[in-house]
Amino acid sequence: MADSVIKRVITSLTVLSAVFCILFLLPNWAFCILTTFFVAAALYEFFSIVEKKGVVVYKYYGILIGIVIPIAVYFQKGEGYSNMEPLFIVITCLFAFILQLARRDRAQNHLTSIAILLFALFYISWFLSFVIKIKFLHEGAKLVTFLVIVTKGGDVGAYFIGKYFGKHPLIPRISPHKTKEGAIGGLMSCVILALLSKGILVDFPYTRLLFLGFLFGILGQIGDLAESLFKRDFDAKDSSRALPGLGGMLDTIDSLLFTAPIFYFYLNIKNLF
């Protein structure tokens, strides 16, 4: 147990250090490349899980399409190319159908393959791409830092509180190891970290930080449970073992997949809380 915790801490610190170094020290295109790498790795894990169930998903084509979305977001936000993002989302949908039309087998699960491919591209590629959009906002690096610290801090709080104090299962049919105590610990961790982040977002009043702490605490755990839902459906414990102590890339970013887009839209709505 101690070894698992140590591996988890070391891996988390390594990943976060790399993210923050790129975020603050390198140009925006480097952060785009990092995000694209996360997307590609998470898509690979997702499609690999689905393939084990015998569903045809065209894994490598899906990854190729998936990495185009964050790149399109970068060119739209950073280079001034208009409508790049919606254009490539439409192309993505078209390509999903073209792949099925080109199949030579007699499989009858075309709709399933299309639905899974589109779900993965929207859920993983597009949702995570919102961190690039946030990076291009005023003081974007600080906003992304706040997003990551609070969201992932909630994961840490939920893990340790649930591990050492959890007694009552949260939703056992989806994730037998998650507990109500862990969920409360994760929520409170987000709130505390959000309030402590006043030094990062000095223009944010404490009421706004408090609201965002609760928002991230809820959305982050929904993101985590959403991944547990389809992993349970496909009989997978972790998305992979690429990151010691954490599982796979998808396990690492799952809580950000809902907090990132909601945070971006929140920041673009004037005078909200």
Better pLDDT: 228 or 16: 16
Q: Which whole number is the average pLDDT over 145-156?
A: 94
> What local confidence, expressed as pLDDT, does residue 154 receive?
92
Q: Which of 141-155, 162-176, 256-270 has the weakest average pLDDT?
A: 162-176
- Which of 82, 75, 70 is closest to 121 using CA atoms? 70
> What local confidence, expressed as pLDDT, does residue 148 receive?
96
- Which of 181, 187, 184 is closest to 166 using CA atoms? 181
pLDDT band at 237 (very low <50, low <70, confident <90, very high): low
Better pLDDT: 92 or 150: 150
> What local confidence, expressed as pLDDT, does residue 113 receive?
82
Pull the structure tokens for residue 164: 């050492």
**Residue-wise pLDDT tens digits, 30-54:** 999 999 999 999 999 999 888 887 7
pLDDT band at 105 (very low <50, low <70, confident <90, very high): low
Residues pairing with 171 in the sheet: 175
Q: Supply the DSSP string of 209-266, one letter for each residue.
A: HHHHHHHHHHHHHHHHHHHHHHHHHTT-SSS-SSBTTTB-HHHHHTTHHHHHHHHHHH
Better pLDDT: 152 or 172: 152
**Residue-wise pLDDT tens digits, 256-272:** 999 999 999 999 885 56
Whether pLDDT at 107 is above 70: no
pLDDT band at 28 (very low <50, low <70, confident <90, very high): very high
Better pLDDT: 81 or 104: 81
pTM of the shown model = 0.90
Q: In angstroms, rounded to a whole number, what is the distance separating the alpha carbons of residues 92 and 85?
A: 11
Better pLDDT: 198 or 228: 198
Average pLDDT over the chain, rounded to an integer: 86
> What local confidence, expressed as pLDDT, does residue 273 receive?
59
**Residue-wise pLDDT tens digits, 90-102:** 887 888 788 777 7
